[in-house]
């Protein structure tokens, strides 16, 4: 029960890595709020966890929705200890040279509004409540935050931007609030390609995706969402009180893959 009595707000907490983190946090004793766009997916999570979970339908790229989620969390559970900016979308490895200028612009607005602006807005909306609890912020970044070919240019740029945001906030918000990140590698989730880029990408079945992921990392793991949750638990817990401005890479060893 490493997170007993903690109150946590997770964006994108109803699917993929976010859903796995939600489940584990509740098992560790936390009360959790999740914000997402799909009411059906949110309600499925609510059925599973009842009073330990608050669901909020909203769009993280809108500041008022982030603000509403924070307010609802505090009204329901009395405080906020941890904010996790996890919501994200993907560009499907679309190639820069192939995409038309109009689609390039639409993709930029769509993807960076969620991946980057959503992180800015969520952190800002949570700030005042986290100051009251000496809380912490965790960003879901990516192997694409450090290396090319973890996505296309839109996704890679967005994940690099999140690292800059995390480090600057860790500097500015210390000593009151800790700010860290988890960088999952390629993971088998239902992450779909954003609409502006779907005509410029090819769909890949799960077996092919798993094979591609295994080839990319030294541990040869086709990672599942559950493979990453322990890193979030550590960073959210009081056992990491000396850690800020850091990234835990949960990627099968991408940094040591060498030239092969």
Q: Are 250 and 184 in contact (CB under 8 A)?
A: yes
Give residue 172's Cα distance to chain centre.
21
What is the rounded CA–CA span in Å between residue 125 and residue 61?
12
What is the rounded CA–CA span in Å between residue 201 and residue 183?
24
Give residue 117's Cα distance to chain centre.
13
Active site residue 63: no
Catalytic choice (108, 110, 147, 155): 155
What is the rounded CA–CA span in Å between residue 167 and residue 175?
14
Tokens representing 213 are: 């992921």
Q: β-strand 247-250 against 31-36: which pairing, if any?
A: unpaired
Task: List the catalytic residues.
Answer: 155
């Amino acid at each position: 029960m490493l997170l007993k009595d903690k109150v946590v707000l997770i964006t994108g907490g109803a699917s993929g890595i976010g859903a796995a983190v939600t489940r584990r946090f509740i098992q560790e004793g936390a009360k959790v709020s999740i914000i997402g766009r799909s009411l059906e997916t949110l309600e499925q999570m609510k059925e599973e966890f009842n009073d330990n979970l608050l669901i909020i339908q909203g769009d993280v790229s809108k500041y008022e929705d982030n603000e509403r989620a924070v307010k609802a969390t505090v009204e329901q559970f009395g405080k906020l200890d941890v904010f996790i900016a996890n919501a994200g979308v993907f560009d499907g490895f679309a190639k820069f040279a192939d995409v038309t200028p109009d689609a390039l612009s639409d993709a930029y607005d769509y993807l960076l509004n969620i991946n980057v602006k959503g992180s800015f807005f969520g952190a800002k909306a949570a700030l005042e409540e986290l100051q009251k609890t000496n809380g912490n912020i965790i960003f879901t970044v990516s192997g694409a935050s450090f290396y090319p070919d973890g996505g296309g240019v839109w996704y890679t740029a967005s994940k690099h931007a999140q690292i800059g945001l995390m480090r600057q906030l860790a500097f500015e918000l210390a000593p009151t609030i800790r700010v860290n990140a988890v960088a999952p590698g390629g993971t088998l989730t239902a992450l779909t390609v954003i609409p502006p880029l779907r005509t410029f990408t090819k769909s890949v079945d799960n077996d092919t995706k798993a094979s591609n992921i295994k080839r990319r990392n030294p541990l040869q793991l086709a990672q599942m969402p559950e493979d990453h949750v322990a890193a979030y638990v550590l960073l959210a817990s009081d056992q990491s009180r000396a850690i800020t401005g850091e990234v835990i890479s949960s990627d099968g060893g991408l940094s040591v893959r060498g030239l092969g």
